[in-house]
Chains A and B, each alone.
Chain A
């Protein structure tokens, strides 16, 4: 909005200083030029990151865009709240659901959330041809990928961290040993972080190749649910055929199983999906490698996709 303040002298048409006729100054609020600071790529990346996170939660978008994310946040937040209340009121000696079990237990809701958010992040810009507007600004294509990936990862992590923190608050209010609870909570956050990074990378790649938003949502959710289901089935089959070693490593096929295996290997907790996993410290290495390879591969695909996308 144009403020009724005096206009800088750089305004075209503004007669600055005393005119021969008197001391009157005519302010023509014409097009105002900007002489101030112009930030570089870090600011641009940050702005895109902030916009992405805001948009995922429906901020700055119509009301209907807010429904889905907040319903899912409710579905992820209310159970830990109830658990916390139950623990406080009944005075149990431990949480009925561990911090690392939480992301595994609500994996379907997490999948729905990422399925809704990832297409918002990228398909909208591809579908409506917004990329040229970004690329004609002081940023590189990789900045776009980095900002979108970081935004989705943080949003996903934040949503799960709320649940973890509610569990912690409940445990502390119930006067469970704070040391153990804090360690458990930190472990839970680590698992959430690993899951957020992996799911964001996978979901963004799928979304970036399906410019139609509805299709992107469907494909991501279907893919995550199907992969999970098929993996569980394969594990069962392998167990029945006595392919025990194979069955132990099979959770790597499913993002949620993979994260569960990492949690078991790194934190020494019990599997939230009741998988039998390889013993020993070395057992976790293949899972860690798969995790790293998946994330790196997806990001590489994304950068490649955006080398072509949005031709100006």
Chain B
């Protein structure tokens, strides 16, 4: 539905308005505060929304879909207000629920065609787009069989397909990897990445596992108990603050001393011959090689490693990087 129809894949780099923005968004259920003064912007591309169960992720999605009025504060989805423009938002947004949501006695084709019409597509377009979308998510001949006989992975694909069939500008994917085995998880994550890069549809994907989102998310928002903990671009978070793993054959403690003298932050491991050096700049690399050459020891490994998001979001443990 992009009027300009840019052929370039819409990535995170495109300078476009955020897909979702909230300001002081609060939602309470009686005494329970589900969302508290949430002010956050989610850019286009893939945004990971991370939080434990009950952190307020689902409430946030409900508010953004216009199904639940906020107690106070405002939200904007694709530039529209969910309180007044809920219908218009739901026409341009897709949603994949976390829970089981598929009837078992119809085929994937039949069901997705129906839901495409329910999104406002004319009947013939609904048919055509259903076939296309099911193919894109990797369902082929089996799409004519009743959903009851599908594996979990296939059902997740149908759920994803129904959220994409009407060519939304933005999809909310609620725990799309739930219940999948590691291979299925990888495939689903790859698919989600394609939704953003190849299909040009912005994605907001929730998970309670930060680790799996770091692969695909351009931006990560962490909420806990309805409160915003962190909102970071993953590129900023993991690339600018890298670490260097160094392993030498001997004289580890001496190397640590030298590097510390040079001003580097060093964390040796228990054995003493492996160390992690904070990569504060290129000079750190030179310092390591110089020190190793001076000491005349063998350099086994010198590896640049990105921070894991899990480490970033546990700042008090961030310094202790396991070797």
Contact = CB atoms under 8 A, between A and B. Distances in A.
B122 A13 contact: no
Residue of B58, B67, B131 with highest tally of chain A CB at under 10 A: B67
Interface stretch (B95-103, B260-268, B286-294, B298-306): B95-103
Contacts of B15: none
A138 to B, nearest CB: 4
B40 interface: no
B200 A130 contact: no
Contact of B136 (A10, A31, A36): A31
Interface residues of B, number: 52
A135 B67 contact: yes
A312 B61 contact: yes
A133 B128 contact: no
A36 B118 CA distance: 15
Interface string B81-113: 000000110110111010111111110001000
A76 B103 CA distance: 29
B105 A44 contact: no
A132 B146 contact: no
Interface residues of A, number: 47
A9 interface: yes
B58 A10 contact: no
A297 interface: no
Contacts of B115: 133, 137
A37 interface: yes
A60 B106 contact: yes
A64 to B, nearest CB: 9
A241 interface: no
A11 B2 CA distance: 11
A13 B197 CA distance: 11
A243 B132 CA distance: 69
Interface in A2-52: 2, 8-14, 16, 30-41, 43-44, 47-48, 51
Contacts of A1: 128, 131-132
B90 A34 contact: no
A35 B1 CA distance: 5
B8 A132 contact: no
Contacts, number: 144
Contact of A136 (B95, B106, B114, B131): B95
Contacts of A129: 97, 99-101
Contacts of A135: 65, 67
A60 B270 CA distance: 66
A219 interface: no
Name the prevailing secondary structure of the A interface residues.
loop
A134 interface: yes
Nearest to A132: B97
Interface in B154-211: 162, 166-167, 198-200
Contacts of A16: 7
A225 B95 CA distance: 42
A13 B7 contact: yes
A12 B7 CA distance: 4
A179 interface: no
Interface string B55-90: 000100110010100000000000000000001101
B118 A44 contact: yes
A285 B1 CA distance: 55
B199 A31 contact: yes
B102 A130 contact: yes
Interface string B125-139: 100110110011000
A219 B164 CA distance: 38
B119 to A, nearest CB: 5
Contacts of B120: 38-40, 43-44, 137-138
12 contacts: A2-B135, A12-B199, A31-B132, A32-B132, A38-B1, A39-B120, A124-B103, A129-B97, A135-B65, A138-B87, A138-B91, A138-B120
Interface of A: 1-2, 8-14, 16, 30-41, 43-44, 47-48, 51, 60-62, 65, 124-125, 128-130, 132-140, 311-312
The list of the 7 closest CB pairs from A to B, nearest first, reads A10-B5, A136-B95, A31-B199, A47-B117, A38-B120, A34-B167, A132-B97
